[in-house]
Amino acid sequence: MASVQSEKPNPTAAFRQPSSNIGKTFRVRGVPRSWSEDDLQSFLEDKACSEPNIGSLANEVHGRTKTATLTFQHNSSQLQEILTVKKLKIPLHLLSKKPTRAANLVFDYDFSGITTLYAPPPQDHRVDLLAISGLGGHAFGSFKERSGEHMWLRDALPYDITGEDGDKPGVPISRIMIHGYESSLQDCDSFQNLEDIGTSFHSSLRSMAIAGSFRPIILVAHSLGGLIVKETLISLSNSDDEEDQKLLRAVYGIAFFGVPHDGMDIQSLISIVGNGPNRFLLESIGNHGSQILSIYQREFPKTLGGQGESKVICFYETLKSPTAKKDETDKWKMTGPVAVLVSKSSATHCRPWENGQQYICAINRTHSEMVKFSSEDSEYEKVLGRLQSLVREAGKVQEAREALVAQKRM
């Protein structure tokens, strides 16, 4: 669980308090592929009368446009109007050619679906890393340092995963993506279950397969996100669809962060959801013999082949987390008594042959903080080393898998 509060604000309050948009990370989709960061910056400065800080600008998976992540330095009436409408039309003379449909910049802060944070040039692209956040989290905010702007998946990892000697030494080789979904706890109207959320994640993965540009895939999953990964991979393994099988063969490694394979402590969280429609989702991941978790434990080890054909690394928290408690204004805050939300045994109980030290790693953080790293963070260095090893191994295993498939077709 990332937090009861996330990057997603109250949309009404956002425009009652002009300063609330400042420092908030927005996603801007629909950026023309011909545009550079300078092009986007000058366009937004002119239209919004506010200077943007652009954190990333990358080609999207579908290949039609680019997506940016950015913050604004100060407010203006023009900016408020744009963020209220959430669209900004691009004049035809600023496009490289006449579009086949209306061209707009689309603003949001929910980050639903896939967002590409970094994409290397096609000739350097060797691996895909796709991250998915946890319960009550936010696709972008969950991986951003607390009270800071550093988002390690965007600001550090692309430049730390580079080619080896003889193969693009020192050159970034990984496309970095995040996947967002609705997982809020308080005042939530969604009654989706793990299968429903897994279906959405499945669709996002298929968009990569259909675009035909994917490479060996490394999945990074926090908390509930890891169960969604397991649900999706089980679904892929049970499918005889060609695109699904391509995706399954492409997945080599997974980094699970505080994933409740055997359940988590949901006692304080139940009070937040009450009898809301999302109560069933929460109860399904509790540590009281959940049937769905038992099914995942039985079926997941079969999805990616046997020992040596893939690799799963499990990270576990070693600091207790504050639990949910109402404050003096009757709002839920994570200020209650501390507890271990996901135990070491639950977080590391994944595949039976991966129980050695090379497959598990302690992160000296709380459940929420274990995927939030600052610049020059020693805990990040632990994670980086494990991810680098997954990337190195992924290419070799992928080549062997494809060769075996080709041999079977002959």
> 44 with 160, same domain?
no
Residue 146 is assigned to a structural domain of this protein: yes
Strands annotated E in 133-284: 174-180, 217-222, 251-257
Q: For residues 377 and 234, what is the distance between their CA atoms, to the nearest angstrom?
A: 35
Q: Is the pLDDT of residue 6 over 60?
A: no
Count up the domains in the chain and report the number: 2
Instruction: Name the residue with higher pLDDT: 248 or 18.
Output: 248
Q: Other CB atoms closer than 10 Å to residue 356's CB: what's the count?
A: 7
**Which residues are CB-neighbours of 163 under 8 A, at least 6 positions away?**
124, 126, 169, 170, 171, 173
Nearest CA to 22 out of 75, 81, 77, 88 is that of: 75
Q: Do 73 and 156 belong together in one domain?
A: no
- Cross-strand pairs, 78: none
Q: Is position 140 within any domain?
A: yes
CB atoms within 10 A of CB 299: 16
Which residues lie across from 321 on neighbouring strands?
339
Q: Are 221 and 156 contained in the same domain?
A: yes
Which range (46-50, 102-106, 179-183, 271-275) has the least confidence?
271-275
For the stretch 326-348, pLDDT in tens is 888 878 788 888 999 999 999 99
Both 104 and 123 in one domain: the answer is no
For residues 388 and 377, give the distance between their C-alpha atoms in angstroms, rounded to a whole number.
16
- The two tokens of residue 334 are 């994570």
- The CA angle 135-138-142, to the nearest 5 degrees, is 90
- Among candidate residues 75, 89, 135, 141, the one with its CA nearest the CA of residue 111: 141
Does 56 share its domain with 136?
A: no
Average pLDDT over residues 388-405: 78
Band of pLDDT at residue 187, cut at 50, 70 and 90: low
Instruction: Provide the CATH number for the domain around residue 263.
Output: 3.40.50.1820
Q: Using one digit for the tens of pLDDT, what is the confidence trace for 112-141?
A: 999 999 999 999 999 999 999 998 889 999
Tokens encoding 201:
């994640």
C-alpha closest to that of 1 among 339, 393, 305, 373: 339
Residues 94 and 213 in one domain: no
Query: Is the model more confident about 149 or about 276?
Result: 149
Pairing of strands 174-180, 87-89: unpaired
Among 108, 136, 166, give the residue marking a domain's end: 108
Mean of the pLDDT values across residues 266-276? 73
What's residue 7's pLDDT? 46
Say which CATH number the domain at 37 has.
3.30.70.330
In the predicted structure, residue 272 carries a pLDDT above the cut 90 = no
The residue out of 108, 123, 158 marking a domain boundary is 108
- Could you tell me if residue 7 is inside a domain? no
6: in domain: no
Kindly indicate the confidence band of residue 319, based on its pLDDT and cuts at 50, 70 and 90: very high
Query: What is the average pLDDT across 18-26?
Result: 76
pLDDT: which is higher, 394 or 157: 157
Specify whether 63 is located in the same domain as 155. no
Q: What are phi and psi of 256, to 5 degrees?
A: -95, 125
Does residue 350 belong to any structural domain of this protein?
yes
DSSP codes of every residue in 61-115: TTSS-EEEEEEESS--HHHHHHHHH-EEEPPGGGSSS--SS--EEEEESS--EEE
* 113-118, strands of its sheet edge to edge: 113-118, 174-180, 127-132, 217-222, 251-257, 311-317, 360-363
> What is the CB-side half-sphere exposure of residue 303 using CA atoms within 13 A?
31
- Looking at the fold, whether 76 and 147 belong to one and the same domain comes out as no
Is 20 among the domain residues?
Answer: yes
Nearest alpha carbon to residue 227 among 180, 252, 263, 200: 263
With pLDDT > 70 as the criterion, what percentage of the chain qualifies? 86
Residue 124 to residue 396: CA distance in whole angstroms: 16
pLDDT for residue 401: 64
Query: What residues make up the domain containing 36?
Result: 13-108
In a domain, 102, yes or no: yes
Q: Are 21 and 156 within one domain?
A: no
Q: Are residues 241 and 360 in the same domain?
A: yes
Structural domain includes residue 5? no
| CB within 8 Å of 64: residues ≥ 6 apart | 33
Based on the domain organization, do 194 and 235 belong to the same domain? yes
- Chain position carrying tokens 């598990």: 360
Say how far apart CA 120 and CA 174 lie, in whole Å. Answer: 7
289: pLDDT strictly greater than 60 = yes
> Largest Cα–Cα distance of the chain, in whole Å?
70
367-391 pLDDT per residue, tens: 999 999 999 999 999 999 999 999 9
State both tokens at 295: 């099914």
pTM metric for this prediction: 0.89
- Statement to judge: residues 87 and 114 lie in one domain: no
Cβ-contact 70, 25 below 8 angstroms = yes
Asked which of 65, 88, 108 is the last residue of a domain, the reply is 108
Q: Over 304-338, what HEC string results?
A: CCCCCCCEEEEEEECCCEECCEECCCCCEECCCCE
